[in-house]
Structure 1
């Protein structure tokens, strides 16, 4: 099975979005896993291939999907696939998808359940386009047109998320609450209701994501643990196994682990 991966050739105008295009050529089924990532993910499938993904409840889904903030890796079977993956921060996801990310947390839904017939029309246009950059431009324009401002997060929640993300998960939750001027309990409640994870779980997910990217780049686990805020290498090992179901060495080799410039250089135009 061979992979083609494409990235946008310019910065996206819509904040909080990240895109990658995939063309996976056949050769039999390949079993992969979707690894938890600190973003809401949209998969727009427009080719004639087939993939199946199993949601946390054990149901098998296929086609264009929206995946919330996952707590564990979920199985994915691919025979052949053409798709664009869009990752967006929970703050952007609320405005684009038209629903709070908390309603998607830990699960996935068919994109047509959110956007109706527009999904089929969009995927038909993607299929007809001759290159990835035109597809990226169409998707960005589509997402920009769908932006809504009637589901905003509390400014305090948005600030807390940005602090957690910007610190790679190393911002103390008590400090967040203190700087916002909320009690720890109020921050816990409002953040969970609007983001879909508790602040502590969000910080763990962001820290794991940062650490596992460094493992993908071949850095030694002991150095990664020391630099990313883990108590020791065993602490890192436990977190990686909890999020991926695999030890660090195996997790770092996952093909679908980190779809970004650090792990996936562009190979298609």
Structure 2
């Protein structure tokens, strides 16, 4: 059966409301970007956090409430929440391989967890109190002055980061074409070394990273496709692509493969997600301790 994309998505996701700024070159070994989510005052809808294969330092400010510096590890499944208080967030995304030098632990210990930044043993914990007092425009300048003298890395760690970057580039370009053995051979490492680098430096396996990356690209394509459609007189949208085409464009074997993967990661099939038929929202995740 051919399924057409007909309606604009009704689920609010963090990616839709976040404005991002790339990290300056001097901070690229440790951060990729700074995201800003404005204070959300319309709390009528649930809020979706789609899977993310990155560790993030979140500076959260509740309206008329406390400020918090949290670390959210890689998220392997979508979360649907219903915020009960207006809050804004600044989100510093860590570069691949930056968890241990910044936070003092491998990324795998943070996967699907939320931990106070100050509770971690790395150098970034000592910056928590200052970070939560800064505006978005001040954060990168502060980090450029504070981090270099606190972090020392050897050539081995820098080389491992370079392997991770190369692997991520390859997986994003061809998520379903090359085997892990071929990728490892191209990078002059063993499959076991490649898995270990991903587990410690990103928090998920290479295959799981590829699945999350492909899902995010698929959702981005859906948003782009639907944003260019004009509503008809009935308020519906003229279909311009099919789920089968969406699957083919993003490296899935076929539509059923995409639907199964989407359901596993998002909790519902793509057709349900696009209608807004998503799992019931849950409270915010509790804080964890190491």
Aligned pairs, number: 237
Farther off after superposition, 231-240 or 161-170? 161-170
CA distance in 1, matches of 2:33, 2:271: 26
Q: Judging changes above 3 Å, is the alpha-carbon distance between structure 1 residues 96 and 160 closer, same or farther for their aligned structure 2 residues? A: closer
Correspondence for 1:244 among 259, 266, 270: 266
> CA–CA distance in 2 between the matches of 1:142 and 1:249?
47
Unmatched 5+ stretches in structure 1: 52-61, 255-269
- 1:187-212 deviations in whole A, cap 9, x for unaligned? 33454344322222222222222222
Select the residue among 63, 76, 88 that pairs with 2:81. 76
How many angstroms does 1:44 deviate by?
0.6
**Aligned Cα RMSD in Å?**
3.5
State the TM-score, normalized to the length of structure 2: 0.66
Shift of 1:43: 0.9
CA 1:140/1:225 → structure 2, altered by over 3 Å: closer, same or farther?
farther
The DSSP-based 3-state class of the residue aligned with 1:91 is: coil
The residue that corresponds to 2:71 in the other structure is 66
> Which residue of 2 is the match for residue 225 of structure 1?
247
Superposed counterparts of 1:1-269, under 5 Å: 5-8=18-21, 12-13=24-25, 14-15=27-28, 16-28=31-43, 30-48=45-63, 63-78=68-83, 79-114=85-120, 115-116=124-125, 118-123=127-132, 125-126=133-134, 129=135, 132-135=136-139, 137-138=141-142, 147-149=151-153, 153=157, 155=159, 158-168=162-172, 169-170=175-176, 171-218=178-225, 220=241, 221-249=243-271, 251=273
* Change beyond 3 A, Cα 1:216–1:93: farther
Give the deviation of 1:5 after TM superposition: 4.8
Residues of 2 paired with 1:76 and 1:5: CA distance?
16
Show structure 2 runs of 5+ residues with no match.
1-11, 227-240, 277-290
Q: Are the equivalent residues in 2 in contact too, given 1:17–1:92 (CA < 8 A)?
A: no
Q: Return the structure number with greater strand share.
A: 1
Q: Distance in 1 between matches of 2:187 and 2:221?
A: 31
Structure-1 separation of matches of 2:18 and 2:191: 43
- Using the TM superposition, give the Cα deviation of residue 247 of structure 1 relative to its aligned residue in structure 2, in angstroms: 2.5
- Tell me if structure 2 keeps the 8 A contact 1:5–1:22: yes
Distance in 1 (alpha carbons) for counterparts of 2:24 and 2:265 = 29
Cα separation, 1, equivalents of 2:167 and 2:141? 30
Larger Rg, first or second structure (1 or 2): 2
* Structure 2 CA distance for aligned equivalents of residues 152 and 49 of structure 1: 46
The Cα of 1:156 is off from its aligned counterpart by 5.4
C-alpha change, 1:240 and 1:63, in structure 2 (3 Å) is: farther
Q: TM-score, normalised by structure 1?
A: 0.71
